Amino acid sequence: MAGCAARAPPGSEARLSLATFLLGASVLALPLLTRAGLQGRTALALYVAGLNALLLLLYRPPRYQIAIRACFLGFVFGCGMLLSFSQSSWNHFGWYMCSLSLFHYSEYLVTAVNNPKSLSLDSFLLNHSLEYTVAALSSWIEFTLENIFWPELKQITWLSATGLLMVVFGECLRKAAMFTAGSNFNHVVQNEKSETHTLVTSGVYAWFRHPSYVGWFYWSIGTQVMLCNPICGVGYALTVWRFFRDRTEEEEISLIHFFGEEYLEYKKRVPTGLPFIKGVKVEL
């Protein structure tokens, strides 16, 4: 796992990432440059070059690695906002860009605030897996092709709004789970119990055993509903269901090993929250 080198003062990574995310999001001011007489592509090229020069000037590794990722995500968020308010068939893709960039950035920010000991560059989840990257690329290709040949399919506003609500619900639930779990939350399934590891059963964990997975499940499907992607919509639903089925079973084996009867009692009382997924089977 890529690290952030020597431990910086508490909260410094969070402040650094927030400042550079907002710096990247300042692309929202780009229309002002075009009104000043610069062509769109020229203004964009100058803006990107200026941003990178500024980051190189202000930060050195490893802080530059944090800054460039947060700034990139802020840039994508800002571009998504501009696209969302454009009068084109791509405006719902702008919603998607905002949702995607905010998800990845907030994963890092919440980890930096909530559990800094486990913080690393991987906390952005930008290199989650090859499968995740292929799935994202597939959804972009489907949207582009369908927008070219069947543009009316991408203008079903009520369906995109439904997807946006799913995304907001999933994002809020996942972040609530991360905050509730505190230092017990980790992006990697733990095989060894730390001294501070406790079983969290309050807050959103009183509703679902795996609220962060439930949130991510509905967030990922919601992105495809938002894009009105019928093929990836079905593909995402099947793929993420299988992923979280296996992930839940893997995690619950560790949790039963860590907490024994305490977790088994909790497992009886509270569902996973994921449709048709009951978790690992325990033979008594």
Q: How large is the average pLDDT for residues 70-98?
A: 95
Buried b (16+ CB within 10 A) or exposed e, 181-196: beebbbbeeeeeeeee
Structure tokens at 56: 């190189």
Predicted pLDDT at 31: 81
Whole-model pTM above 0.85?
yes
Q: Is the pLDDT of residue 175 over 70?
A: yes
Residue 74 · residue 29 · CB < 8 Å: no
pLDDT band at 93 (very low <50, low <70, confident <90, very high): very high
With pLDDT > 90 as the criterion, what percentage of the chain qualifies? 81
Predicted pLDDT at 1: 40
Predicted pLDDT at 188: 87
Q: Which helix (H) or strand (E) holds 6?
A: none
Predicted pLDDT at 2: 42
Predicted pLDDT at 38: 61
Instruction: Identify which of 212, 8, 220, 1 has the alpha carbon closest to the alpha carbon of residue 123.
Output: 1
Lowest mean pLDDT among 32-36, 153-157, 260-264, 280-284: 32-36
- How far apart CA 70 and CA 217 sit, in angstroms, is 24
pLDDT band at 42 (very low <50, low <70, confident <90, very high): confident
- How far apart CA 36 and CA 78 sit, in angstroms, is 20
Predicted pLDDT at 284: 59
Q: How large is the average pLDDT for residues 190-199?
A: 86
Q: How large is the average pLDDT for residues 71-84?
A: 96
Instruction: Name the more confident of 195 and 70.
Output: 70
Q: Is the pLDDT of residue 6 over 60?
A: no
Q: In sequence order, which residues have a C-beta less than 8 Å from that of residue 31 and are 6 or more positions away?
A: 82
- Please list the residue range(s) of the chain that carry CATH number 1.20.120.1630: 128-283
Structure tokens at 78: 């800002």
Q: Hey, what amino acid is at 151?
A: P
Q: Is the pLDDT of residue 41 over 80?
A: no
Q: Is the pLDDT of residue 99 over 60?
A: yes
Classify domain 128-283 at the CATH topology level.
Answer: Four Helix Bundle (Hemerythrin (Met), subunit A) (1.20.120)
Instruction: Identify which of 18, 48, 52 has the alpha carbon closest to the alpha carbon of residue 30.
Output: 48
Q: Is the pLDDT of residue 90 over 60?
A: yes
- How far apart CA 174 and CA 208 sit, in angstroms, is 11
pLDDT digits (tens, 9 = 90+) for 219-269: 999 999 999 999 999 999 999 999 999 999 999 999 999 999 999 999 999
Predicted pLDDT at 5: 42
The stretches of the chain forming alpha helices (DSSP H) are: 12-25, 30-35, 40-58, 63-84, 91-114, 130-149, 157-181, 211-226, 230-259, 261-269
Q: Is the pLDDT of residue 95 over 90?
A: yes
pLDDT digits (tens, 9 = 90+) for 195-223: 889 999 999 999 999 999 999 999 999 99
DSSP classification of residue 163: H
Q: Is the pLDDT of residue 68 over 60?
A: yes
Lowest mean pLDDT among 53-57, 186-190, 262-266: 186-190
Instruction: Identify which of 223, 204, 201 has the alpha carbon closest to the alpha carbon of residue 212.
Output: 204
Q: In sequence order, which residues have a C-beta less than 8 Å from that of residue 35 and are 6 or more positions away?
A: none
